[in-house]
Homo-oligomer: A and B are copies of this chain.
Amino acid sequence: MTQNIYDDPEFFEGYSRLGRSVHGLEGAPEWPSLRALLPDLTGKRVVDLGCGFGWFCRWARENGAAQVLGLDVSENMLARARAVTADEAVSYERADLEHLELPDASFDLAYSSLVLHYITDLPRLLATVHRALVPGGQFTFSMEHPILMAPMHPGWTMDGQGRKTWPVDSYQMEGPRVTNWLAEGVVKQHRTIGTTLNLLIRSGFAITHVEEWGPTDAQVAASPMLAEERERPMFLLVSARRG
């Protein structure tokens, strides 16, 4: 089963203090770019893979979705999501995305924010999502960019002239990366962009948009610490359509 770091007390405590946990979607700098990829949700059936506190599920419902299903492996997160959602059209279920089962052709949109880089058996999950979408249905997701994930010892460095650089190594060595982000021993799965896109294509998806997120000038002006994210690609945003 998926490493359930979100039910690790230390990780959960740290995660709960992040901007995106406290302020929801608006606390995530990539959200405006991700939102721009979404279709009109009016009357749509939506599934959120890794729904966390349910911010996106509630947003989707407020923006017209008919039914929203939020899935997460973390009981902690689901408990909080349920506590702040009072809407019968939004439901939350515990699910291990490594072994996910979904009914066929039952969703118009599948959404996933910063979760797929934890998945070991990505081909299986993509096949499940493909089957669960109606023909023409859309899958939009973000994940950590592999340039962020590849290095064995990640960290910004200054070059001889005091310029900030993000040193890349081991890009071609796909597989687990163990980092100490919020807690010790968080395991992510490094895949090249090519691998992720080819898995989508082979699952029957048509790629409709690929974006390597970076902050806008306005975002950097409002949050100067985001400036470093101009130097490297931080997140990968992808939209694909079930053919």
- Name A's B-contacting residues (CB within 8 A): 147, 151-153, 157, 159, 161, 163-173, 192-194, 197-198, 201, 206-212, 214-215, 229-233, 237
Q: Which residues of B contact A209 (CB under 8 A)?
A: 194, 198, 201
How many chain copies does the complex carry?
A: 2
Q: Are A168 and B165 in contact (CB under 8 A)?
A: yes
Q: Are B171 and A230 in contact (CB under 8 A)?
A: yes
Q: Are B168 and A159 in contact (CB under 8 A)?
A: no
Given contacts A167-B165, A167-B166, whether A172 and B230 have CB atoms under 8 Å apart is: yes
Q: Are B166 and A169 in contact (CB under 8 A)?
A: yes
Q: Which residues of B contact A161 (CB under 8 A)?
A: 153
A176 to B173, CA, bound (A): 30
- CB pairs A–B below 8 angstroms (9 shown): A152-B163, A153-B163, A165-B169, A166-B167, A168-B231, A169-B231, A173-B230, A193-B210, A201-B207
Q: Are B207 and A172 in contact (CB under 8 A)?
A: no
Q: Which residues of B contact A167 (CB under 8 A)?
A: 157, 159, 165-168
- Which among B173, B210, B215, B230 is the interface contact of A194 at CB below 8 angstroms? B210
